[in-house]
Amino acid sequence: MFYPDVNMRCLCQRTISTTITVTTERKELSLMLKENIKAIRKSKGLSQQELAIKLNVVRQTISKWEQGLSVPDSDMLISLSEVLETPVSTLLGETVTEAEVDNLKAISEKLEVINLQLAQRKTTRRKIIRWLLVSLCAIILMIFAALIIWSSPYLGWDYSDPETAVLGVAFHSFEWLFVRFAPMLLIGAILGIFLTRKKA
């Protein structure tokens, strides 16, 4: 019977372990990080303000971490782990060896993955907002065109009929409000489209 060499078996185990680690890194690390920071902070009885003071940052920075809007850099992550008395591996939501925890390069790579995920989210949100603003501009322009073509048809209606009178007043109110507020909405939408354009 053939028995694999011990070194070969260890190599296979390391290969499998590396594969699992790489797969884990591609998961929602930012989600784990933000949830862990918040949960561990609360378990230590610290408010966002208190934690911010210990780390010499503003409270908004802690809030952004816990909302997943940004992540601490490698140095700040180490400081955070010291203040919360929690290993970096626990903050990242992974089980790694002590040597890997102390490896600044490994931490930086994990944070790079998180930052990439955040950048992709921001890009997606920017595209969605941009298309919503483009759609809003198109709708406003179509309504303007329709009002110009119809030229206030309700002015010639017979208002002796109560239902016609109510409908005419409703049309007039809509037109009155639209003509006054639509230009501001249009300018705001165009400005939003300009601000959300893809940067070179």
pLDDT digits (tens, 9 = 90+) for 56-89: 999 898 888 888 788 788 778 888 888 888 887 7
How confident is the prediction for the chain on average, in pLDDT?
Answer: 75
Per-residue burial over 132-168, b if 16 or more Cβ lie within 10 Å, else e, is ebeebbeebeeeeeebeeeeeebeeeeeeeeeeeeeb
Predicted confidence at residue 5, as pLDDT, reads: 43
Reported pTM? 0.46
Share above pLDDT 70 across residues of the chain, in percent, rounded to a whole number: 74
C-alpha angle 19/21/6, rounded to 5°? Answer: 60
Report residue 104's pLDDT band, with 50, 70 and 90 as the boundaries: low
Residue 132 has pLDDT above 90, yes or no: yes
Predicted confidence at residue 75, as pLDDT, reads: 78
Residue 10 has pLDDT above 50, yes or no: no
Among 71-85, 93-107, 115-129, 170-184, the least confident range: 93-107
* Biggest alpha carbon–alpha carbon distance for the chain: 104
Report residue 131's pLDDT band, with 50, 70 and 90 as the boundaries: very high
Residue 136 has pLDDT above 90, yes or no: yes
